[in-house]
Amino acid sequence: MGKKAANQGAKQELIQWLVAPEQEHMMAGLQTEAESKNWKAFANLITAEWKKSGGDPSITNCLQNSQHCIHLWMGAQSPQGGPTADSPADSKGAQNPQGGAPPERTFDDQGLRTADAFLKLVALADPSMSDLQIQRTFPPNGDLQLFQVCKPVSFICAERGGKSVKSNKVAVDWSSRQLLSNGGYGQRLKK
């Protein structure tokens, strides 16, 4: 098994463990660390609890990479602890590892910045993209976050004077819930 597959397997195992009712006590602490982008503390909290529950310590090694922490958090936020943004189920359109269709995407009413919320925004902008899959999630930069999707999306860039764009890289401004082109994302970062 390659390193990427091992990391994906470890994240899936951790997500399944995190979404179990027994781990509910950790979610507030994890949310605080995720919102402050303190991924080291996020990883340390999970690692300590994982070891206390008798889990194999090597499973948490992937959490030394902040991107894996982000994927883990996104996976734990999705309904039924669905696939992470970089898992084979997302990138190839396969089924949910629990069996059946992938979990239904719902808009995040609590304002959490999740992959599901991003996909809902894209589907609102271009209804033909309701089955869109994320290939890569870039780390958030303040209120901005860039996503790479599996196929080009048509939308109006909020930064470029209402210009119509078609791209497989789409950014979102979480504060206003507006979609931005890759170029618009760069312009907002410069402000």
The tokens describing 178, both together, are 């507006």
The pLDDT value recorded for residue 113 is: 63
Residue range 110-144, pLDDT digits in tens: 345 677 778 877 877 777 777 778 888 888 888 89
Question: What is the CB neighbour count within 10 angstroms for residue 133?
Answer: 19
Task: Answer whether residue 109 shows pLDDT above 60.
Answer: no
More confident residue, 118 or 63: 63
Task: Answer whether residue 93 shows pLDDT above 60.
Answer: no
The pLDDT value recorded for residue 45 is: 92
Residue range 1-54, pLDDT digits in tens: 678 788 888 888 888 888 777 777 888 888 888 888 888 999 999 999 999 888
Residue range 70-91, pLDDT digits in tens: 888 877 765 444 444 443 333 3
Q: What percentage of the chain reaches a pLDDT higher than 90?
A: 12
CA 131 – CA 123 distance, rounded (Å): 8
Q: Would you give the DSSP letter of residue 71?
A: H
AA letter at 47? T
